[in-house]
Amino acid sequence: MEWPTYLDEYEKLITRMSTPRVMIDNAGCYNATRLMIDSARKHGILLEAVQVLTDLNLSIKKAYICSDGRWFMDVFHVTDLNGNKLTDESILGCIEQSLETVHYGRSKCIKGHTALELTGTDRVGLLSEVFAVLSNLSCNVVDAKVWTHNGRIASLIYVKDDDSGSPIEDSQKLDLIGAMLRNVLKGDNDIRSAKTAVSLGVTHTERRLHQLMFADRDYDRKPMIKSCDDYYFPVVLVRNYLEKDYSVVNIQCSDRNKLLFDVVCTLTDMEYVVFHATIDTSGDTASLEFFIRHTDGTPISSEAEKQRVILCLQAAIERRASQGVRLELSAADRKGLLADVMRTFRENGLNVTRAEISTTQDKALNIFYVTDAIGNLADPKIIESVRQKIGLSNLKVNQKLERDEPKMGASGAMLLSLGSMVKRNLYSLGLIKS
């Protein structure tokens, strides 16, 4: 590495210490690629590393995390989304280069567009009204993510001006967009909590969605409609290990993509620091254990705080749980396309529980998860009717749902398993004697 001439030896040393070192091992594990990262410790660096891996569409099968003292060290066992080891040298090089920049912060957001943030009460047809307003105001939606949970909705929508193709910067137009969207979100029942905002879009999109729902307190709200995934419920335990001034968080749930990101994102935004962690997946089940403290170095101090952590982590895991039938839209982009599709859903009684909307080279590539009006799986005949109206070749059904079905029988068995895991990992980390 060539150093700029103006750096003295001390500055070179600081740069070396603050730049993460990455090692990639494809021989040490028969079914995954092992990534080892070590660097100087700072708050949030674990989230940045996990964020890089999830943004590269890698699945984290196991992880061991240690950041006591001033040093941070992680070991991740990763595969591609099909469960294969990573062998392409160009991909491995990209991973290494990306992980070496985590200390400087990364943000997967959509640049060059205006970002609209929306939160409010979910209801059938709400998104149809939202996108109809944007279409009428000559706003072209180029990217969007929509989450619903416990009867609440949060969305981050990136738009540009339909005529100029530029970000919308006119303050009067932005005020009009905000006012009209707030009226839509309020409906008849959400006078106080419906919110809209225009942001710079500098925060990672999915992290921002977690923040919006957390601020909306979706974790302590009751769902307003029945969910077709009512059986889904992650088990979270929190206990204090006072001898070492740690709080220990155990999670057992079904494994899925981006699970670790959702959990670490929530702990980081709640101002907790992860000092040690063990993540293990077996089949479709994931077991996660975290040794945490507040940023001031103290453990969780009250029963009320424990319950809040439990509720927030359960909500973080549930938000991304896919409910309903997955519909994939691939069509040439045009003005009003999204509004027309959403109107068709609404007219046929379909409720969108989650959406991922993107535009690539004038082609719309959208994913929708839909249920009926009360949250049950939609009638296949209605789905087929909707497909015929939108275009059978444009709208397809993907039967592979990302449900998180617990594979264990009773919650008591899970609690017993978690208790054993606490003791085992305390011992392996050197925090207790055998």
Torsion over CA of 118, 54, 82 and 76, rounded to 10 degrees? -150
CATH class belonging to 114-225+322-398: alpha beta
CATH topology agreement for domains 19-104 and 114-225+322-398: yes
Distance of CA 277 to the CA centre of its chain: 19
For 342, how many CA atoms within 13 A lie in the half-sphere containing its CB?
23
The whole-angstrom separation of Cα 304 and Cα 42 is 28
State both tokens at 197: 């905002």
Which residue is listed with tokens 């319950």?
307
Please name which of 426, 78, 61, 73 lies closest in space to residue 279, comparing C-alpha atoms: 61
**pLDDT attached to residue 166:** 87
Going from the C-alpha of 428 to that of each of 29, 51, 248, 264, 279, the distances in angstroms are 20, 27, 14, 22, 13
CB 253 within 8 A of CB 234: yes
| Total count of residues recorded for the chain | 434
Domain boundaries, the chain: 19-104, 114-225+322-398, 235-320+405-428
List the structure tokens of 382: 């209605």
Which residue type occupies 314?
Q
Cα separation, 176 vs 167, in Å, equals 15
H or E stretch at 211:
helix 205-215
The parts of the chain modelled with pLDDT lower than 50 are 1, 3, 225-231, 401-420, 422, 426, 428-429, 431, 433-434
Assign domain 235-320+405-428 to its CATH architecture: 2-Layer Sandwich (3.30)
Strand partners, 121: 152
Q: How far is CA 66 from the centre of its chain?
A: 23
DSSP conformation letters of 128-181: HHHHHHHHHTTEEEEEEEEEEETTEEEEEEEEEETTT-S----HHHHHHHHHHH
Q: In sequence order, which residues have a C-beta less than 8 Å from that of residue 272 and are 6 or more positions away?
A: 292, 293, 294, 295, 309
Measured between its terminal Cα atoms, the distance across the chain in Å is 46
* pLDDT value of position 104: 54
Contact, 83 vs 73, CB < 8 A? no
pLDDT of residue 313: 97
Distant-in-sequence, close-in-space partners of 243: CB < 8 Å, separation ≥ 6: 431, 432
Specify the pTM.
0.85
Fold adopted by 19-104:
Alpha-Beta Plaits (3.30.70)
Q: What are phi and psi of 85, to 5 degrees?
A: -65, 160
- The kind and range of the H/E element at 267 are helix 259-269
The maximal CA–CA distance of the chain, rounded, in angstroms, is 71
Q: Which residues, other chains included, contact 255 with Cβ-Cβ below 8 Å and sequence gap of 6+?
A: 281, 283, 284, 285, 286, 404
* DSSP letters spanning 40-103: E--TTHHHHHHHHHHHTTEEEEEEEEE--TTEEEEEEEEEETTSPPP--HHHHHHHHHHHTTGG
